[in-house]
Amino acid sequence: MDAKPNGEYSSDRVVDGPTNPMVTPLLTDLYQFTMAYAYWKAGKHQDQAVFDLYFRKNPFGGEYTIFAGLEECIKFIANFKFTEEEIDFIRQSLPPSCEDGFFDYLRGIDCSDVEVYAIPEGSAVFPKVPLLRIEGPIAVVQLLETPFVNLINYASLVTTNAARHRFVAGKSKILLEFGLRRAQGPDGGIGASKYCYIGGFDATSNVAAGRLFGIPLRGTHSHAFVSSYMSPDEIIDKLLLSNDGSSICEDFVGLVQTWLSKIQWSNSLRGTFGETNQSELAAFTSYALAFPNNFLALVDTYDVVRSGIPNFCAVALALSDLGYKAVGIRLDSGDLAYLSCEARRFFCTIEKEFGVPGFGNLTITASNDLNEETLDALNKQGHEVDAYGIGTYLVTCYAQAALGVVFKLVEINNQPRIKLSEDVSKVSIPCKKRCYRLYGKEGYPLVDLMTGENEPPPKVGERILCRHPFNESKRAYVVPQQVEELLKCYWPGSSDNAREILPPLKDIRERCIKQLEQMRPDHMRRLNPTPYKVSVSAKLYDFIHFLWLNEAPVGELQ
């Protein structure tokens, strides 16, 4: 694609397919095809429809959500085309009475007549505001409902989960996504790695995701590596070249043993531990011989304080003699606050006693069933953890299974439509709309405002009435200091509009981090956060309620 001088890309429609090859036009619910047939049979399939994709409630008891999954949606529609085999399968799956002409129609369709406007991926978003507005022939757009909702639901949920973990951990901590083995299948695993990165994680252990998306890869080693060693005698090749190549240590195993007794008998550590586990020492020594520049040891296989930490320090000091700097340790069980403090104390004592600069700052990684609550508990107790490896709770979104994204018809052939419900929160907001984020004096977003498509946009410095869509008494005047139009054109259909570029993953991640930094702190706090305001213009408010009364039958009391 060629960049135009103004930074936008030309409107050519060549876009790679979705990451997962299972994402085809058949990845939808049967009823989308039966509806498409009925639209076609009634001659209604070309009716111009507008659908909004949105969610009704923020997840995890919070007051914000991060929008993700847009790139995959655009990759999907850019390549939307039925194969003959797929058409045969649809034919077999529908009643035999379905006429051939419908299958000819399916054969011809793609998304070149569909327009998609969306909020940029990685943005902070709020209930009821359309994340996507999709416009086009009703039969085609209807077929997009299930795949779009599928591609956005988990993506936004897990990105939000990751962002929440980042918020609790704090900016300075390293967050590693370790969830592949526990994710809901291969797509869950790949998606988790991609979207946790967007949500603010630093790296993943998932090699396939590293290759697909260029996410930094990180890892330590497992208990199996430690317990696979029985004794230091197993180490045959004990030779290690110094880091600058100037000397050779013929017996690295012996050097480690020497350091272990020096630590054991040192002034400040004498009596703090006795004999350490020698098979663990062998495993650490062997790992250091394999990775002298990246030595990180899992120290909880036998006993963290009495064995793992002193063994690690002996190997790290031996490496230091040869000009290498060890990375640190991983703790994977026990009281992580207490053990991390013990480890730090040990490292600092060694730095002092043996004059090894930087030893006190070695990295302490913690893992083991971590989640938002445990991170919060660790913060409250005080700890010395620098990096967290998080798997199960993060990638399975254990605290909330789904986001509840919906796809609702808001206009057909320029006629606004509404979906009523006993539950007011489920009443849809009709009309093809424009959406704005209004910023206040202090630079914080104040409110998201939806208006009808043809209303004049809010203006900086001009007072505008923002109304709760359903609650008459909730309204406020806002004088915006900045107005941001939220929905941008990502797929122009048959219009001449310029198409937004699909930014690289790093930029989406950057956007997510910046957006959350910009939120007013009371929307972000974990306990009883303040809801962010989502509103409609006075004109749209009046229209919603006019349509509501129009569509709701009047009851009769007997």
Ligand X SMILES: O=C(O)c1cccnc1
Ligand Y SMILES: Nc1ncnc2c1ncn2[C@@H]1O[C@H](COP(=O)(O)OP(=O)(O)OP(=O)(O)O)[C@@H](O)[C@H]1O
Ligand Z SMILES: O=P(O)(O)OC[C@H]1O[C@H](OP(=O)(O)OP(=O)(O)O)[C@H](O)[C@@H]1O
- Report if residue 102 touches ligand Z, rule: CB under 6 A: no
Q: Which two tokens stand for residue 42?
A: 């009634």
**Which partner in ligand X, ligand Z, ligand Y, none is near 351 (CB below 5 to 8 A by kind)?**
none
299 and 312 Cβ atoms separated by less than 8 Å: yes
- Which residue minimizes CB distance to ligand X? 219
Residue 148's alpha-carbon distances to 51, 71, 116, 457, 551, in angstroms, are 12, 11, 11, 28, 28
The least distance separating ligand Z from the CB of residue 395, rounded to whole angstroms, comes to 8
Counting DSSP H helices and E strands in the chain, the numbers are 17, 22
Give the whole-angstrom CA distance, residue 159 versus residue 219: 21
Residue 370 binding ligand Y, by CB under 6 A:
yes
541: tokens are 């408010």
Least CB distance to ligand Y at residue 58 (A): 25
Contact between 373 and ligand Z per CB under 6 A: no
Minimal distance in Å, beta carbon 288 to ligand X? 16
* Rounded-to-10 torsion of CA 504, 505, 510, 512: 120
**Cα–Cα–Cα angle for 263, 268, 272, nearest 5°?**
70
Question: What is the chain's percent helix, strand, coil content, to nearest 5?
Answer: 40, 20, 45
CB of 300 to ligand Z, least distance (A): 9
CA-to-CA distance for 550 and 528, rounded, in angstroms?
38
CA distance 238 to 223: 23
For the bound state, the minimum distance from the C-beta of residue 378 to ligand Y, rounded and expressed in Å, comes to 6
User: Total number of residues binding ligand Y (CB under 6 A)?
Assistant: 12
**540-550 b/e with 16+ CB inside 10 Å = b?**
bbebbeebeee
Which residue in the set 11, 272, 368, 481 belongs to the binding site for ligand Z (CB under 6 A)?
368
- The answer for residues whose C-beta is within 8 angstroms of residue 170's C-beta and 6 or more apart is 379
CA distance 184 to 513: 26
Write out the two tokens for 168: 């609790």
Q: Pick between residue 32 and residue 205 the one whose CB is nearest to ligand X.
A: 205
User: Shortest gap between Cβ of 131 and ligand Y (angstroms)?
Assistant: 33
Binding mask 384-403 for ligand X (x = CB under 6 A): -----x-x------------
Asked if 221 touches ligand Z (CB under 6 A), the answer is no
CA angle in degrees (0–180, nearest 5) for 326-331-334: 155
Stretch that binds ligand Z, among 22-30, 31-39, 356-364, 365-373 (CB under 6 A): 365-373
CB of 162 within 8 A of CB of 192? no
Torsion sign across C-alpha atoms 536, 540, 546, 549: negative
Measured between alpha carbons, how far is 130 from 128 in angstroms, rounded to an integer?
6
Q: Are 203 and 183 in contact (CB under 8 A)?
A: no
Answer for which of 368, 379, 392, 396 binds ligand Y (CB under 6 A) is 368
Contacts with ligand X in 333-392 (CB under 6 A)?
A: 389, 391
Please, what is the minimum distance in Å from the beta carbon of residue 397 to ligand Z? 13
Decide which of ligand Y, ligand X, ligand Z, none touches 175; Cβ closer than 5 to 8 Å per partner kind.
Answer: none
> Interface with ligand Y includes 176 (CB under 6 A)?
no
x/- mask, ligand Y, residues 324-363, rule CB under 6 A, reads ---------xxxxx--------------------------
Least Cβ distance, residue 218 to ligand X (angstroms): 7
Residue 31 three-state SS: helix
Of ligand Y, ligand X, ligand Z, none, which one sits near residue 390, judging by CB under 5 to 8 A according to partner kind?
ligand Z
Element (H, E) at 50: strand 48-55
CB 136 within 8 A of CB 544: no
H helical segments located in 355-381 = 372-381
Query: Counting contacts by CB under 6 A, is residue 219 touching ligand X?
Result: yes
Among 117, 178, 197, 491, binds ligand Z (CB under 6 A): 178
Q: Name the residue whose CB lies closest to ligand Z.
A: 391
Task: Using the rule CB under 6 A, give the single segment among 162-170, 364-372, 453-461, 533-541 that binds ligand Z.
Answer: 364-372
Q: Binding pattern to ligand Z, positions 464-493, x when CB under 6 A?
A: ------------------------------
Task: Establish if 378 lies at the interface with ligand Y (CB under 6 A).
Answer: yes
CB-nearer residue toward ligand Z: 178 or 436: 178
Told to check if 369 binds ligand Y by CB under 6 A, we report yes
Q: Which residues bind ligand X (CB under 6 A)?
A: 178, 205, 219-220, 389, 391
Q: Rule CB under 6 A: which residues touch ligand Y?
A: 333-337, 368-370, 374, 377-378, 381
For ligand Z, the binding residues (CB under 6 A) are 178, 181-182, 332, 367-370, 389-393
